[in-house]
Chains A and B, each alone.
Chain A
Amino acid sequence: MNDVDIKIKEIDEKIKKIKDFMNSSGIDLSGEIESLNQKKNELIKSLNPKSPWEIVQIARQKSRPNYEDYINGIIDSFIEFHGDRSFRDDAAIVGGIGFIDKFPVTFISHAKGKNIEENVKRNFGSPHPEGYRKALRLMKQAEKFKRPVVCFIDTSGAYCGVGAEERGQGEAIARNLLEMSDLKTPIISVVIGEGGSGGALALGVADRVFMLENAIYSVISPEGCASILLKDSGRANEAANYLKLTSRDLLELKVIDGIIKEPSGGAHNDAELTAKNVKSVLIDALNELTKMDVNDLVEKRYDKIRSIGVFLE
């Protein structure tokens, strides 16, 4: 552990102490926590000298922890549910219920495989419309039973194919955005690997959006951007710089709310430790969000989504 790591750990402990004190005394110290979190995010930023293109490579690592590692590391008694009740079950999205610590949750994740057989079955984590409709069905179910929703984002994008268009890929994504903006239960989203465009956002309208340190989240892949704007997909390296797709950049642009630390070198070096880090962030967020009045929660979510954007007038 280097100095910065130690400092981050100290801040985490401080935050935990303040939160415990808040819970026992009822005194609101959320301002303190806010400023500590800011300090922590700045430290994380200072730690990370990798170039955006290097981070893209880490985010796409074949051995990077996937949905399964996190289910095993975070969720107790997970039970998977299937199907959109309309067309079929899309294995590119996995969903179900279980416990995170004391909280019963609905868990939904893009599912990338770790080998070719699983990737064929799961379409490399690129969902068809029925995948998004399954996700929405489970979210509405969570709303009914007042369970928080936890979404993990890990896809290069929604699938581009004939069947996907025939069954309304655009409509399916749009419907999720609309319904998630108003879902009357807490939603937390975490980008664990690749967050590719609309197909990622369809699980990303949330009260809290986190990114793993070396995850990426982008409107278009660096390759796609390079081939359109630079007329050369080989210049993806360059495009990755322009797109501001790293966790640090997106925290600065206020697109996300926090960064979750990875073991040095990347999450693939220690899946268990990564899952532990993610779990502790989730528990904090669940503690906070489940205490809120649900109408306040939804209103704050609207204001948060509403405030993203940069313009002049």
Chain B
Amino acid sequence: MWKDLFVQRKYATLKVTKKNDFIKDENVSTDNIDVDMFTKCPSCGEILINMDLDKNLKVCLKCNHHFRIGSKERIDITFDKDSIEYFDTNMKSLNPLGFPGYSEKLKSLSKSLGINEAVVTGRGKIEGIDVCFGVMEPNFIMGSMGSVVGEKLSRMFERAIEMKLPVIVFCASGGARMQEGMLSLSQMAKVSAAVKKHSNKGLLYISVITDPTTGGVTASFASLGDIIIAEPKATIGFAGRRVIEQTIKQKLPLEFQTSEFMLEHGFIDMIADRNKMKETLHNILKIHMGVKGNE
């Protein structure tokens, strides 16, 4: 039914959008129009009303496709209202290698997204239980990890040690940030070392893997949780799909490097739907604290 409505609107908007784009590719064009009211599910093609989609935490009502969400939305749906204290909000990236175009990119992204970097860290409550957290921002240079991401996460783990708190990190990243060269790669070691220090104190670290988590983040803290949870059908892997296809000169099956694939091969503990995530985290935290039922 919504499809019909959409078709009508499509014709109505045709006149005001660039005509050429429409003729070239119908799929692209349907994504372009009605952004403010409708979204087409990339997985099943269903046309979804944005209000319904938002209410369903950006999960397709028809096929359960989990759309990517930004750090702000993730924090809103995970932590108790008004429970949050942010860490290191003023920390900013420099351009230590003098990499061409990097400074400009940082500037324009922090302006358009309203955040300084690809991770937000802090302390908050999940149904009243205190945790430290890191939430990666997939829209900030693909959630890539440079000096700031490494430093913010490491400090967050260290604060969690001081406060004797569990840590939850929501991962979403294309890996190490090329524009900071070896300084980026070194952040993998840095955060892993902080995870180990936190772990040595007997504290809990839950890694939540969301779409997409690849490269240097998969090869460091994303894979190091005491408990690793993934959202359904997230891309999780070390090497990029295209790189592997080029190396082995074969097409890879669709399910390769998905959450389901990782579960089957024994690299994550469980898959949880977005609308069950908070409850799942809360239940795990309660068992770790020895709190049964609704005590």
Contacts and interface: CB of A to CB of B under 8 A. Distances in A.
Nearest to B195: A178
Contact of B99 (A242, A253, A302): A242
Contacts of A313: 88, 90-92
Contacts of B39: none
A311 B94 contact: yes
Interface string B199-243: 010000000000000011011111110000000000011111001
A311 B193 contact: no
B93 interface: yes
B189 A170 contact: no
Interface in A131-188: 158, 160-162, 164-171, 173-175, 177-182
A125 interface: no
A175 B188 CA distance: 11
A161 B224 contact: no
Contact of A219 (B147, B185, B221): B185
Given A225-B178, A311-B148, A161 B244 contact: yes
A244 interface: yes
B221 A174 contact: yes
Contacts, number: 182
Nearest to A242: B99
Contact of B183 (A161, A220, A255): A255
B219 A170 contact: yes
A198 interface: yes
B151 interface: yes
A183 to B, nearest CB: 10
B182 A178 contact: no
Contact of A165 (B151, B176, B177, B256): B256
B239 A164 contact: yes
Grouping DSSP codes into helix (H, G, I), strand (E, B) and loop, the B interface class, with mixed when no group exceeds half, is helix
Given A177-B220, A309-B190, A160 B247 contact: yes
Given A174-B221, A242-B99, A205 B197 contact: no
B189 A201 contact: yes
Nearest to A158: B238
Contacts of A158: 219, 238-239
Interface string A236-257: 0000001111000010010100
Interface in A221-272: 225, 228-229, 242-245, 250, 253, 255
A170 B237 contact: yes
B219 A255 contact: no
Nearest to A313: B91
B223 A171 contact: yes
Contact of A181 (B193, B219, B243): B193
Interface string B140-182: 0000000110110010000000000000000000001110111
B118 to A, nearest CB: 12
B121 interface: no
B150 to A, nearest CB: 6
Given A165-B239, A165-B256, A309 B193 contact: no
Interface size classification for chain A: 35 or more
Contacts of B216: 197-198, 219
A182 B185 contact: no
Nearest to A171: B223
Contacts of B187: 308-309
A171 B200 CA distance: 19
A312 interface: yes
A177 B154 CA distance: 14
B200 A174 contact: no
B196 A197 contact: no
B185 A198 contact: yes
B115 to A, nearest CB: 15
A174 B169 CA distance: 15
A171 B249 CA distance: 25
A201 B185 contact: yes
A305 B186 contact: yes
Contacts of B90: 313
A306 interface: yes
Contact of B189 (A168, A253, A305): A305
Contacts of B42: none
A170 B265 CA distance: 13
A177 B193 contact: yes
A309 B186 contact: yes
Contacts of B222: 170, 174
Residue of B148, B154, B186, B200 ringed by the most chain A CB atoms within 10 A = B186
B97 interface: yes
3 closest A-B pairs by CB: A170-B218, A309-B147, A181-B193
